[in-house]
Amino acid sequence: MYLVGAGPGDPGLLTARALELIARADTILYDRLIPVTSLDGARADAELVYVGKEGRGPSMPQEQIDRLLVEHGGAGKQVVRLKGGDPFVFGRGGEEALVLRAAGIPFEVVPGVTSGVAAPAYGGIPVTHRDRASAVALITGHEDPAKPESAIDWPALAAFPGTLVFYMGVKQLPRIAEQLIGGGRAADEPAAVIERGTLPGQRTVVATLSTIADEAAEAAIRPPSITVVGPVAGLRDEGLRWFEERPLAGRTVAVTRARAQASGLAAQLRELGAEALETPAIRIVPVDSGLALDPSGYDLVCLTSPNGVRHLFERLAAGGRDARALAEATVAAIGPGTARALRAHGVIADVVPERFVAESLIEALAEVPVRRALIARARVARDVLPDALRARGAEVDIVDLYETVAERLDGDARAAAGSADYVTFTSSSTVRFFLDALGGADAIGPATRLVSIGPVTSATLRELGLEPHVEASEHDVDGLVAALLADAAAQAAAR
């Protein structure tokens, strides 16, 4: 049994050990406040058991959680108990470890990044500072209501010479401030509350100890929140705020490409501050003709997408071949993304056009002698490239390596995507299937801005009655992100 801390919410703060154990686990018992993508690395056959608690919502009693821990832990399987933050910092990890010990079940503790340090850091507040705080105290702001009296010595806490960090105390802010001031803490000392720390929707309110409760109430700050009391809270407004300064902070962006690829784009957007909604409208499935793929005998091999590269090499491997099968051919890639995918397999593309569309690839191949060409692509694709090569007298074979099919979106995903600040489209198929999933173009909110990877995708949007607000000048994912950033900056400047 592994008691694993999942960190405060930002998926990037999951430890390498936590990710390793999640990937190996037979069973995962997980809390509510864990990173949204933390279970993505779990095995497809892993048993996922939700044991979350919510202040005013449905909650699983701790006694039932303890029974599940003993039941699964004693079954001879590899079990991960995945807890938000650090399991031994207000996470009941100590209690659960004692239950396991009493049942004779061996366990290992994997610490996680605790929100009492991470949330202030993301809010621009260091909990210690050489000139302002040489100590920090971590305190629960929500004690067990069954206790006959508070275990907190408020006068001693008020006199503590350092930073006070309260977990889960947003509802108790008036009482916390009253007790500290009554115990001798300065009423004008800086204080801050950080809501949803390390997550895209993070909000921070800074005030004084005497006013923080009213300021937080006026801002409608809600759990989960961390409260910081001490001189270090003033450092946020002295230039240390950074999280909200990122270029896409406060914006939601729906990513419609296939799930296997969406995570990479979503990660880029999250690093830039966006709340990335992974709403894949398509799924990539291989097309297997049952025949081994043999590129020998072709003097030109064209790849039109990274997906094509991946499936090409899967088909080559199935036939006992590798990159050497392309050695005698000129290899053309439609753009840098496809060229990078080839390079990952040890092949450097001979031809990469400046613009990443079939028409540009045709121009780039104008001086390349071609007798026999192999075009490896999706099942449904434009015939611009093969038609142009045939017009030059070349013999052209097309191999369909994969196809895109619709991916079902649930109601929550449809609602979120329809009201996002931006929706990104990386192909015509993402446009068609996404609009089908939403029930038509009218389901996209009037304030939502549509971002297209290039002219072909834009043409599909227009065909379906929508005008793209943004079109990437370089027709790959990096170009799409750059165009979105430029538009976000222009929108902010216009406000």
Q: Quick one: pLDDT band at residue 100, thresholds 50, 70, 90? A: very high
The pLDDT, as a whole number, for residue 291 is 57
Tokens of 293: 């793929």
Task: Exactly one of 83, 86, 168, 476 is catalytic; name it.
Answer: 168
Residue 88 has pLDDT above 90, yes or no: yes
The pLDDT, as a whole number, for residue 293 is 79
Tokens of 347: 């092949």
Please name every residue paired with 452 in a beta bridge, in sequence order, or none if there are none: 425, 471
Q: Quick one: pLDDT band at residue 58, thresholds 50, 70, 90? A: low
Q: Quick one: pLDDT band at residue 200, thresholds 50, 70, 90? A: confident
Task: Exactly one of 53, 171, 299, 487 is catalytic; name it.
Answer: 53
Tokens of 381: 């694709």
Q: DSSP letter string over 256-277? A: -S-HHHHHHHHHHHHHTT-EEE
The pLDDT, as a whole number, for residue 201 is 86
Stated pTM of the model: 0.80
List, in order of start, the domains of the chain with CATH numbers. 2-113 (3.40.1010.10), 116-245 (3.30.950.10), 252-281+407-494 (3.40.50.10090), 285-404 (3.40.50.10090)
38-42, 63-67, 457-461: the lowest-pLDDT one: 38-42
The pLDDT, as a whole number, for residue 264 is 83
Residue 57 has pLDDT above 70, yes or no: no
Strand ranges (E), 141-232: 163-167, 190-195, 203-208, 225-229
What does the DSSP 8-state code read for residue 241? Answer: -
CB contact at 8 A, 304 and 334: yes
Q: Please state the rounded mean pLDDT for residues 466-494.
A: 94
Strand ranges (E), 343-481: 372-378, 395-406, 422-425, 449-452, 470-471
Cα separation of 330 and 366, whole Å? 13
Nearest to 119 by CA among 201, 52, 43: 201
Answer yes or no: 66 catalytic: no
Cα separation of 196 and 243, whole Å? 12
Residue 134 has pLDDT above 90, yes or no: yes
The pLDDT, as a whole number, for residue 388 is 94
In angstroms, the first-to-last Cα distance of the chain is 53
Cα separation of 22 and 78, whole Å? 10
CB contact at 8 A, 192 and 204: yes
The 10s digit of each residue's pLDDT in 418-474 is 899 999 999 899 999 999 999 899 999 999 999 999 998 999 999 999 999 999 998
61-75, 118-132, 261-275, 360-374: the lowest-pLDDT one: 261-275
Residue 194 has pLDDT above 60, yes or no: yes
Residue 297 has pLDDT above 80, yes or no: yes
Q: Quick one: pLDDT band at residue 192, thresholds 50, 70, 90? A: very high
Task: Exactly one of 1, 10, 31, 83 is catalytic; name it.
Answer: 31
In the chain, count of helices (H) and strands (E)? Answer: 16, 20
| % of the chain with per-residue pLDDT over 70 | 96
CB contact at 8 A, 207 and 142: no
One-letter amino acid identity for 449? R
- Positive or negative: CA dihedral 248, 250, 256, 259: positive
CB contact at 8 A, 438 and 432: no
Cα separation of 188 and 209, whole Å? 6
Residue 108 has pLDDT above 90, yes or no: yes
The 10s digit of each residue's pLDDT in 226-251 is 999 999 999 999 999 999 999 999 99
CA 83, 84, 86 angle in degrees (round to 5)?
85
CB contact at 8 A, 108 and 132: no
**In whole numbers, what is the pLDDT of the chain averaged over residues?**
92
The larger pLDDT score, comparing residue 382 to residue 171, is at 171
The pLDDT, as a whole number, for residue 358 is 81
The 10s digit of each residue's pLDDT in 353-365 is 977 678 889 999 9
Q: How far is CA 361 from CA 126, 130, 323, 333, 339, in A?
A: 52, 59, 22, 8, 13
Answer yes or no: 31 catalytic: yes
| % of the chain with per-residue pLDDT over 90 | 72
Please name every residue paired with 166 in a beta bridge, in sequence order, or none if there are none: 139, 227
